Chains A and B, each alone.
Chain A
Amino acid sequence: DAGVIQSPRHEVTEMGQEVTLRCKPISGHDYLFWYRQTMMRGLELLIYFNNNVPIDDSGMPEDRFSAKMPNASFSTLKIQPSEPRDSAVYFCASSSLGAEAFFGQGTRLTVV
């Protein structure tokens, strides 16, 4: 398996634009996590899914953020409209319950 795959690796966008981040988890993993990492706040859990169902989205900062997992091999995190304070590195991770979690390489988002 190629591991957790995220795209794009880098995204620069203007304030107010819609941003979509993508994640392909490791095949067979039934948990998928979206995190945001900043210097100030560290690694924050935004939302996680189990068997494609959102379990806890309490970390999603506001209604501008949404996440979907239409099938076991794909998830998206959308920000609409984007703001400069959304600039961060966004990570996707996947695991099976009780097993190691594996992370993607992250998407570095810059909103100008």
Chain B
Amino acid sequence: KQEVTQIPAALSVPEGENLVLNCSFTDSAIYNLQWFRQDPGKGLTSLLLIQSSQREQTSGRLNASLDKSSGRSTLYIAASQPGDSATYLCAVMAGGTSYGKLTFGQGTILTVHP
């Protein structure tokens, strides 16, 4: 059974800092990994998708890396802003016998204060 863990559970930083969120998964037979953002009381918004054959993806101030063999991904946020405050979730889409199954971590609650 795939298990996804995110560290830290919560993070509070001053504006302007660069920060790293971590995601690990137990089964490396994945199809892809996706990072989402969730604002309070809202749905999930996709940030970045990394295919299993890729090492990283970038979008603006966000960079996500994937090391499938070690079961790890990181989301790097450069020059953080108060508007980045949200919960960040990673999700893996399974390959192998659970083809297509999308499993989430518990999320990291990020607060960026001015």
Interface residues of A (CB under 8 A from B): 31, 33, 35, 42-43, 45, 48, 50, 55-56, 91, 93, 95, 97-106
Query: What are the residues of chain B within 8 A of A91 when measuring CB–CB?
Result: 43-44
- Sample (18) of A-B pairs whose CB atoms are under 8 Å apart: A31-B102, A35-B104, A42-B106, A45-B103, A48-B100, A55-B99, A56-B98, A97-B31, A98-B31, A100-B49, A101-B34, A101-B91, A101-B102, A102-B46, A103-B36, A104-B43, A105-B43, A106-B43
A42 adjacent to B49 (CB under 8 Å): no
CA distance A103 to B44 in the complex (A): 6
A-B contact count (CB 8 A): 58
- A33 interface neighbour in B51, B98, B102, Cβ under 8 Å: B102
Q: Is B61 an interface residue (CB 8 A)?
A: no
- Contact A31:B43 (CB < 8 A) given known A42-B106, A42-B107, A101-B34: no
Chain B 30-64 residues near chain A, CB threshold 8 A: 31-32, 34, 36, 42-46, 49, 51
A98 adjacent to B102 (CB under 8 Å): no
A103 adjacent to B103 (CB under 8 Å): no
Query: What are the residues of chain B within 8 A of A103 when measuring CB–CB?
Result: 36, 43-45
